[in-house]
Structure 1
């Protein structure tokens, strides 16, 4: 498990570990979106983006405080994760300006009967 506050050092460590122990599973914290894109090119087994996860955690708490139920909050977060992943993959293939339209797309509001 690699969790350091210096993205270049993390990248270097992943590259070195993959070269020396190619079958070793690597679990890595990416600082942000750009760092995750860099890491995906290097290829650790699991990447968790620190800024994404902490933002979603805070969003969950804010929505709870505003009175939303867990089911609705979960659906919003799932929609966000799917859109974020779609955008990340597009950015990896086509550059950072890819899929900007996903930033402004409204979330679908879950209906009571769907819960």
Structure 2
């Protein structure tokens, strides 16, 4: 579900650990009072936000079999983990914050993403 980010008055937004002031990976999240998670583009704080209901979020990420990206290393570089979910979706999170938010991609979106540019 989507909403306008500025409509989430009580949201306390946090930046992804990969966001910077140079425009890179600008994702912010907010845990809402009802347990749901909101995600927005930090470059457009008044724009749309994706809302993940608490129960759906918990079912999606609890007990997932997480694996480190082949590009991750023990020196702190590219710390990304993924998990294939039961419905074929792909969850992605920051391995330095395993209890923090994860992005969930629908199966068709993930397939298009890994197929390369122009496939979406």
**Structure 1 and Structure 2 fold alike (TM over 0.5):** no
Larger strand fraction of residues: 2
**TM tier, smaller:** under 0.3
Q: Tell me the TM-score normalized by structure 2.
A: 0.24
Q: Tell me the TM-score normalized by structure 1.
A: 0.24
Larger helix fraction of residues: 1
* Higher-RCO chain (CA-CA 8 Å, sequence separation at least 6): 1
Q: Which has the larger radius of gyration?
A: 1
